Structure 1
């Protein structure tokens, strides 16, 4: 029955009028979102260079947090929920998302990075892509079902152009809205938007980071067992990250009633942590991620990144969680090479996508992302199977938690409990 329904939806999408209309929309959304991501990547590069040349800027992080909070209190109250707002709009469309979401999250994220906060970038790209796409509602009449597809096109375009992973970006948009369900109805328009955004972004003078795994061992039962064991660790780590981030955000709201003061106090604490742990925990940490594929990292590295990141984001700074999750997964995988007899590059690579999978509940997209990002020394069936196993075991090991608390569970991960069905993750994480 499910296959028949999905097939009918796909057949509908192959009709000429549907393809023509959404082809035009996909080109527009992809072009605008790809260009927005390119500008964002250029600004991130500037922020990184500026921060690393001027460590004293870290002392201005509390002031930067205040300015971000002030801008949202003045102009962005309706969009402060960020990615969770977009997820909710795809689930049940209501008011058109304000275009102010794009410049507010862009400026807020650059402030976070230039002053040394530990945050990501995917949230910014997804919010820019979705808010830009949603403005087409003022030009073209969309039904609620069509608006869901439109928003997913924006999500996919932002994600794919930011990371250089069009296939993963498209599937991520279809997979991330619900836990246990892929939204096939938007497949073709979302794929088109993702690839257009990817190619448009590539016209700009930006570079996407790719990672070399190196040696990949042959498939064997014992190697699969080691990957599964590592993936359980990755899934538990995802659960810890998501749960602590959610809990600490609640504590900030509970004990610091002023929206403007939260990032100021949080910023002071982040500055102290960075002085304690080191400046490499500021920003995205891409250099450390790349190094993790060839240089063994200590277990304290991923733990420190968790601490600095959850404090930065729970205090109200802007950015995203995904690149810090890449950092956490890659460095944890690298550290596990001390105790698991597998190549460091393979463990870092599986950790990179598996922690992301557990935290976002999107194992299919994360598997595809690994295939798009990683450059293996020898390619065959081994790498895809290791990635599939790592992402899905991590997904099941992370429980009903996640960084997107507005996700709705359509099917329990464990199959034996119907009590969780229809609930948001936020209800289960309290």
Structure 2
């Protein structure tokens, strides 16, 4: 090969790498900073709500205000996480920049008045919105480049809001398709996730530390092995329960949302209904433990994610949190599902530990990540999240719980724009290529459907 050709190719590669380094560092700095502001505002909102309990009674009005905000200014931004996934699959109109401020304001207001929502949806939407805006600013036209930038935005938002850069990177690649990871974006997403997490931390944001005391059983020789066969079997049984909880949560949100759409045609009014339901639920259960994120209980002895790792037992806490969260998410409140799923999983693990006679902190930790794995169809990202949050000593249990929950959650999930790459059952192989939205709309697995290359499968 001519030396001039080699030099030109080398220069092109160098320019491309420099361009992407600048794009990704700029994107990550913006997303990390936005997440830092968001997390600080969430802390202020939560503290204000706890100090002023009467704010709960303003939740219906706050919900209507959020509904009107999206009704007047939202337009395509109403699509949320699913819009970003759709744009990665088939780039078109892009993700509007207004999605970032809309979802940030909507989520902070939701938490201020006590809605049981999370924060991952906000971080992911801000990441996708900023990524799309940077793509337009830099006049990216190549579909592959746009997809990589959006995946990097998802990874950056997820990593910064939870402090888990490796899980965030894998999540950005795994969340697109059920059963397959988009390895083409491997280097960009890990760079974006790491830088965004670092920037968020540099702003002084600290994430809640989780302590897992269980690190295995010592054998006869006094050494610890990475898995006990009996305990592993118990984790597998718990994984089935975690997967069914994931399925129950996802289907409840979708079905209740459909019911509310039929009952109330005005979308801006539906969050008000969710606010009224939340107040009624507080009266019925007699507790405010299920408002907001639920990481720390508002009062001593209450149910919270941190409390589930301790000696106390909370048999129905996970079910109450599920009901509270379904009521507001189905009604249209903004925030996300992940932190409530952490609560549901850790609470269910706490309950199952007594039934299965297993270490309570271990099952709480496995449930923490496994219910999310089943609901989001991201078992690898959630396994790595378990390692980043709780340490690597129990990785076999994390992986087992996440993988079993993923299989048992069926072809459902919280992100309906996900496409099925590898069906969870061999008998459902004709589903390859369809979205979870199509599955819920009545797609029949025994009818020939499109494959990943667009051809008809039989």
TM-score per shorter chain, which class? Answer: over 0.9
2:260 maps to 1:266: no
2:436 to 415, 425, 428: 425
How far off its partner does 1:371 sit?
Answer: 0.4
1:48 aligned partner: 46
Give, in whole Å, the separation in 1 of the partners of 2:105 and 2:170: 28
How far off its partner does 1:210 sit?
Answer: 2.3
1:324 to 333, 340, 354: 340
2:292 aligned partner: 283
1:345 aligned partner: 361
2:453 aligned partner: none
Give, in whole Å, the separation in 1 of the partners of 2:115 and 2:81: 19
Per-residue CA deviation, residues 13-53 of structure 1 (Å, 9 max, x unaligned), is x9544432211111001100000000000000001000001
Q: Which has the higher contact order (CA 8 A, sep 6+)?
A: 1
2:241 aligned partner: 233
How far off its partner does 1:415 sit?
Answer: 2.2
Pairing of 1:143-154 with structure 2 (within 5 A): 143-154=142-153
1:214 aligned partner: 213
1:112 aligned partner: 110
1:336 to 324, 328, 352: 352
Give, in whole Å, the separation in 1 of the partners of 2:59 and 2:115: 7
1:4 aligned partner: none
How far off its partner does 1:224 sit?
Answer: 1.1
1:256 aligned partner: 264
Pairing of 1:11-30 with structure 2 (within 5 A): 16-30=14-28
Unaligned ranges ≥5, structure 2: 1-9, 218-226, 297-303, 442-458
How far off its partner does 1:418 sit?
Answer: 2.1
8 Å CA contact 1:160–1:195 kept in 2: the answer is yes
Give, in whole Å, the separation in 2 of the partners of 1:199 and 1:226: 37
Unaligned ranges ≥5, structure 1: 1-11
Give, in whole Å, the separation in 2 of the partners of 1:276 and 1:294: 26
Residue 212 of structure 1 aligns to a residue in which SS? coil
2:74 maps to 1:76: yes
Q: Which TM-score applies when normalising by structure 2? A: 0.88
How far off its partner does 1:69 sit?
Answer: 0.6
Pairing of 1:15-414 with structure 2 (within 5 A): 16-142=14-140, 143-218=142-217, 219-277=227-285, 278-287=287-296, 288-375=304-391, 380=393, 383-414=394-425
Q: Which TM-score applies when normalising by structure 1? A: 0.94
1:5 aligned partner: none
Give, in whole Å, the separation in 1 of the partners of 2:214 and 2:428: 41
Which protein is bigger by CA-based radius of gyration? 2
Residue 212 of structure 2 aligns to a residue in which SS? strand
Give, in whole Å, the separation in 2 of the partners of 1:258 and 1:408: 30
8 Å CA contact 1:98–1:131 kept in 2: the answer is yes
Give, in whole Å, the separation in 2 of the partners of 1:76 and 1:281: 28
Give, in whole Å, the separation in 2 of the partners of 1:178 and 1:112: 30
Task: Identify which range, 251-260 or 391-400, moves more after superposition.
Answer: 251-260
Per-residue CA deviation, residues 218-254 of structure 1 (Å, 9 max, x unaligned), is 3222111111000000000000000111101111111
Give, in whole Å, the separation in 2 of the partners of 1:275 and 1:296: 24
Give, in whole Å, the separation in 2 of the partners of 1:18 and 1:323: 38
How far off its partner does 1:216 sit?
Answer: 2.6
Give, in whole Å, the separation in 1 of the partners of 2:283 and 2:169: 39
How far off its partner does 1:155 sit?
Answer: 0.5
Give, in whole Å, the separation in 1 of the partners of 2:101 and 2:282: 28
Per-residue CA deviation, residues 339-393 of structure 1 (Å, 9 max, x unaligned), is 1122111000000000000000000000000000115xxx64xx11111111000
